[in-house]
Structure formats: C-alpha cells, structure tokens
Amino acid sequence: MDLIGNLAHGFAVAFSLQNLLFALIGALIGTAIGVLPGIGPVATISLLLPITFGQPATTAIIMLAGIYYGAQYGGSTTAILLNLPGEISSVVTTLEGYKMARNGRAGAALATSALGSFFAGTVATVVVAASGPLLTSIALSFGPADYFSLMLLGLIISAVLAQGSVLKSVAMVVLGVALGLVGTDVQTGQQRFTFGIPELSDGIGFVSVAMGMFGIAEIILNLERPEAREVLKTEVGSLFLTKEEWKRATPSVLRGTLVGSVLGILPGGGASLASFGAYMMERKISKGRHLFGQGAIEGVAGPEAANNAAAQTSFIPLLTLGIPANAVMALMVGALIIQGIQPGPRMVEAQPDLFWGLIASMWIGNVMLLVINLPMIGMWVKLLQVPYKFLYPSILVFCCIGVYSLNNNVFDVYMTVLFAIFGYMCNKLKMEPAPLLIGFVLGPMMEEHLRRAMLLSRGDVMVFLQRPISASMLAIGAIALLAMMLPNLRKGKEAALSG
C-alpha cells in the first residue's frame, strides 16, 4: 500500500465514533492534567492504564496518545500564566511566555502556543507517516560519543539563555550539572551525595526543582511586590494575535518545527533538547531577538512548535524499534503488551490498523486540542483576573498535591520547599534558574554517554573526533564558544540585551 492509501485506511480507523470519542476524552484529560502542576502525563496514564484493558488496542492507544499531547498543551498554559513549568520543555516557555502574560499579552501567548503546536504537530505527523521507518536509521546512527557531543553542544550554547550575565548563567548550568550528580552512579551502582537518603538514590526530582525554583519562589516574590502583580489583572489586552505578532511568530514556528522533528527522533534524550534548542535558535537569529527578555513572541512560538513536533516524532523509535524514548512511551509499551501486542519493527505489517490509526489520530488529536484550547484562552486569561490573594493559595495546594502524587511520598514536598528557598535566594542574587534546570536535565545524560563512550573506546578520546556526527557537534560548539568570547560580538549581544 502507498502512503495515501495507508493514511486513508488510518483515517477510516480513527474516524470510527468510538475512536473519535476516546481521542477527545484523552485530549480533554490531557489538557486538564497538563494544567494541574505536578500531575504529569506519566501519573495520569498509569492511573488510567487499567481502564484501557477493556478497550480495543487501537482505541486504548489513541486515548493514551491524546493524554500525552493534551498534557503538552496544558503544561504550556500554566507555564505562561503562572510561571509553573511541569517539564523541561515548558521551562523555556516560561521565559518569554510569562513575561508576555505580565505585559497583558497572555491571550496572544496562549494562542501562539496552541497554533504553533498545531502546525508543528501536523507537519510532524506527516513526517512520521511518510518516513518513520526510514528515520529509524537516524536514531540508530547516534552512538554514545555522538550523544555526549550533542549534550555538550547543548550546554555550551545554553549560555544564550542568560538574560543577564553570561558568566553567571554558565555557572548556573554547571551548578545544575552538579545537582544532577546526586543519586546512584549508573556504572557502579554507588550512591553519590545522597546522605543515606533512599529517596535521593534516583536523583533529585525534576518537578521538585522546577516547581520550587519557578512556581513557589514566584509566589513569594509576587507577594513581596503587591504593586507588580496588579498588572496581571488590569491590562489584559486583546485575546488574539495582532498582525505584527503573526508576522513575527510564523518563521519561528517553521524553524521550531524543523528542530523539534529532528531532535524528537533521538531516543537518548533528544526530545528534551527540542524546545530549548529552538529557543536558542530564535534568540540568535530571529528578527525579534532584541526583544528577548521582555516577552518576545518568537520565544514562545519556536519552542512550543519544537516541543510538539518532538512529541510526535518521538513515537518513531517506539513504533519502528519498539524502544520507548521516555517514561510516557514506556507506559504505551506497557499498554500495548497488556493488549498482547509487541511494539517493534513488525508492528507496521502485523497491526496496520493500530499503526495507521494511531498516526491519523495524532492529527485528529491535534485538531481537537486546537478546538478545545482556542476557546478556552478567554477563560484562562480570566483566571489571571482572579485576585492574587485567592489565586496563590490555590496554586500552592495544587503544587503540594501534585508533588506528593509523583511518588506518593511527602519527601518530595519537603524537597520542593528547599528548592523554593533556593529559587528565592537565586532571584535575590540575580542568578537565573533556567540555565540551572537545563544543566540539571542534560548533565546526568551527558555523564552517562561520556563514560559509556570511553568504556567502549577503551579510553581513546579520539572517538569524539573520529565519528562524523560527534565531530560536527563539537565543531559547532567550538564556533559558538569562540563567537561568545570575541569581544565585538559580545558587545553586540549586550547592546541587544539592553536595547
């Protein structure tokens, strides 16, 4: 069968009343849980897993996939409105999105996020359908050395995330890497910096760090400056994008889609780089780069598109290799296995209904999310008009329940408190939390890939230069480093930042 025929078959499957209904339910649940801080798609899918036992496999997976992208959409909403990032992709969204919201452009930021995600989702779905099996070779061509160089490149250029001093932002990246060291050493199984606390043996929880440093610290800071928070309710502004904003956001969405589609394919941590890679790209090359730090729409459009594109293409390793790229995908594998289906290379032939039905429903799910989310923008913006004195206790209790439900352990609640204090301190010292989180996420992966590469090469450092992918990553990194150090370019950057 050709692609068109296959897709037609897929749409025929997905358009059954039952599958449409469950795609909608999944999208709705996903949006709802994405909006709730801390409750992520992993927790929800594991709670809903038993429900899927009674459903046909295709329906079950369509619903779970709906939850997955729905959560991505919903997560952006809290990041933009409340500075509450639930995962690494939305950390980047808070940078410009929350600033836009404070400037009274919350509606535009949410609309950009929804439209950008929809466009990227559509493109990425076509990518998965047309060339999924071919792209598998990309996933397999990345060895440990290549992943290490990719992560290193990510860390080097994350200095671009700096809103202030580049030096301090690099220091925060390194501090993040240091925090990421806590936990069990993968190679030897030894506990590092855990102080004998078993809860730390799997590392410090990302949600505790992100929620503490962003969400809770922001509550304390907002309470400290009653005058600043009132901006939130007085100037809401137009709900939709202006002509000017359309013009600025469109190229960013295109670039973000490209970045996200490629990175999403890499199962060894590519998807977590997607939104932040796109952000750095926009910050460097978009027309509105001088507006970054004050609520630039490019900084929402690019990363949101990249994030959603990566969410779609990260299905490629699952569908073609049977290898889950992240925890959500691992759950999908579980759901399929319970149904008696083994994901893997043979799935395309053995389960064409499932494979093509899922791909078609990816797109349908994106349409539904757009339909659900665009009309809700008005409601979300109204949320900002709730007096802050009522809003903040609500955010706080949702954060508490969300953090607890991650592992059903109060330890995580106390960890979040510690990171809230740390985030508050960082704000007072003008140390930025975003680069820290990037380092925190990439650091452990980088160490793992580095050590594995060295084990496999028997200690030969040349492996990083001999492999073409790795070598080109390192070359780009070196150029970026040089560019940052050259004084005239640096002056230009500073001028751009102050202007």
Partner 1 sequence: MKINAKDVASGVFLILLAAVGLWLNADHALGTARRMGPGYMPMLVFWIQLGLGALVLVLGLFNGPDPLERWTGIDAGMLVVSVAVGTVVWQIAPMFGEFFTGTYNAIGLGMLAGFLVICVSKGWRLLGFICAAMCIFGLLLEKGGLMLALTATIIISAMAEPQHRRQPLGVLGLLVFLLALCWWIFIKQLDIRVAVWPMQY
Partner 2 sequence: MSGTLPRRALVAGGAAFAALPLVARAQSWPSQPIRLVVPYAPGGTTDLTARLVAAGLAARLGQPVLVDNRPGAGATLASAQVAAAVPDGLTLLMSNIASHAIAPALYRSLRYDAVRDFTHVALVVENPSVFAANSRFAPEGLPQVVELSHRTAEGIDIASSGSGSSNHLLIVQFAEATGARVHHIPYRGAGPAMTDVIAGVVPMMSDSLPSAVGHIRAGSVRAVAMSSTKRHPAFPEVPTFREQGIDLVSTSWFGISGPAGLPPAIVERLAMAVASVLAEPATAARFAELGGTVRMMSPGAYNEFVMAEVARWAPIVAASGAQVD
In the complex, which residues of this chain contact partner 1 (CB under 8 A)?
32-33, 36, 39, 43-44, 47, 165, 167-168, 170-171, 174-175, 177-178, 181, 185, 187-188, 190, 192-193, 216, 219-220, 223-224, 389-390, 392-394, 396-401, 404-405, 408, 410-411, 413-414, 416-417, 420-421, 424, 428-431, 443, 447, 450-451, 454-455, 458-459, 461
- DSSP secondary structure letter of residue 192: E
Output the smallest distance, CB 407 to partner 1, in A. Answer: 11
Whole-angstrom Cα distance, residue 418 to residue 209?
9
* Distance in Å, CB of 475 to partner 2, minimum: 22
The one of partner 1, partner 2, none whose footprint includes residue 324, by CB under 5 to 8 A per kind, is partner 2
Comparison of 12 and 456: residue with beta carbon closer to partner 1: 456
The entry of partner 1, partner 2, none near residue 201 (CB within 5 to 8 angstroms by kind) is partner 2
Angle between helices 352-383 and 3-14 (to 10 degrees): 60
199 vs 353 by CB, closer to partner 2: 199
Of 16 and 201, nearer to partner 1 (C-beta) is: 201
478's contact among partner 1, partner 2, none, with CB below 5 to 8 A by partner kind, is none
Provide the token pair at 413: 């609640």
Interaction of residue 16 with partner 2, rule CB under 8 A:
no
Options 202, 230, 235, 244; binder of partner 2; rule CB under 8 A: 202
> Could you tell which of partner 1, partner 2, none binds residue 443, using a CB distance below 5 to 8 A set by kind?
partner 1
Q: Which does 317 bind (CB under 5 to 8 A by kind): partner 2, partner 1, none?
A: partner 2
Site for partner 2 in 231-270 (CB under 8 A): 267-268
In whole angstroms, give the CA distance from residue 41 to residue 51: 15
Q: Which one of partner 2, partner 1, none interacts with residue 254, CB within 5 to 8 A by kind?
A: none
Q: Which of 56, 237, 322, 352 binds partner 2 (CB under 8 A)?
A: 322
Residue (397 or 489) nearer to partner 1, CB: 397
Q: Provide the strand spans (E) within 173-254.
A: 183-184, 191-192
Pair 273, 306: CB distance under 8 Å: no
Question: Which one of partner 1, partner 2, none is in contact with 486 (Cβ closer than 5 to 8 A by kind)?
Answer: none
Rounded Cα distance, 291 and 297, in Å:
9
Residue 210 CB partners (closer than 8 Å, separation 6+): 85, 86, 87, 88, 91, 437
- Least distance to partner 2, CB of residue 140, Å: 4
Sign of the C-alpha dihedral computed for residues 352, 358, 361 and 366 taken in this order: negative
* Cα separation, 71 vs 63, whole angstroms: 12
Cβ 449 to partner 2, closest distance in Å? 10
Instruction: Please say whether the beta carbons of 207 and 86 come within 8 A.
Output: yes
Helix axes 57-82, 17-35, angle to 10 degrees: 30
In the bound state with partner 1, the residue whose beta carbon lies nearer, of 171 and 258, is 171
Least distance (Å) between residue 393 CB and partner 1: 5
Whole-number Å distance between alpha carbons of 289 and 296? 8
CB of 19 to partner 1, least distance (A): 22
Q: By the 8 A CB rule, do 406 and 195 touch?
A: no
Chain-centroid distance of CA 489 in Å reads: 30
Question: 363 to each of 15, 121, 265, 268, how far by Cα in Å?
Answer: 11, 7, 18, 25
237: nearest Cα among 93, 110, 113: 110
Q: Cα(381)–Cα(271) distance, rounded to whole angstroms?
A: 29
Q: For residues 53 and 414, which CB has a smaller minimum distance to partner 1 in the complex?
A: 414
- What b/e readout covers 154-177, taking b as 16+ CB neighbours within 10 angstroms? bbbbbbbbbeeebebbbbbbebbb
Question: What's the token pair of residue 223?
Answer: 């309470």
Select from 144, 212, 423, 477 the one that contacts partner 2 (CB under 8 A).
144
Nearer to partner 2 by C-beta: 165 or 194?
Answer: 194
CB 224 within 8 A of CB 392: no
Smallest gap from Cβ 53 to partner 1, in A, equals 16
Number of residues that bind partner 2 (CB under 8 A): 55
Judged by beta carbon distances under 5 to 8 A according to partner kind, the member of partner 2, partner 1, none in contact with residue 413 is partner 1
Choose between 217 and 323: whose C-beta lies nearer to partner 2.
Answer: 323
Q: What single-letter amino acid sits at 498? A: S
Would you give the distance in Å from CA 117 to the centre of its chain?
A: 12
Least Å distance between CB 439 and partner 1? 9
Q: Report how far residue 64's alpha carbon sits from residue 305's, in angstroms, rounded to the nearest whole number.
A: 21
Asked if residue 199 binds partner 2 (CB under 8 A), the reply is yes
Applying CB under 8 A, among 133, 237, 293, 334 the residue interacting with partner 2 is 334
Of 191 and 250, nearer to partner 2 (C-beta) is 191
Name the site residues for partner 2 (rule: CB under 8 A): 42, 45-46, 49-50, 53, 139-141, 143-144, 184-191, 194, 196, 198-199, 201-202, 267-268, 317, 321-324, 327, 330-335, 337-338, 340, 342-346, 407-409, 448, 452, 455-456, 458
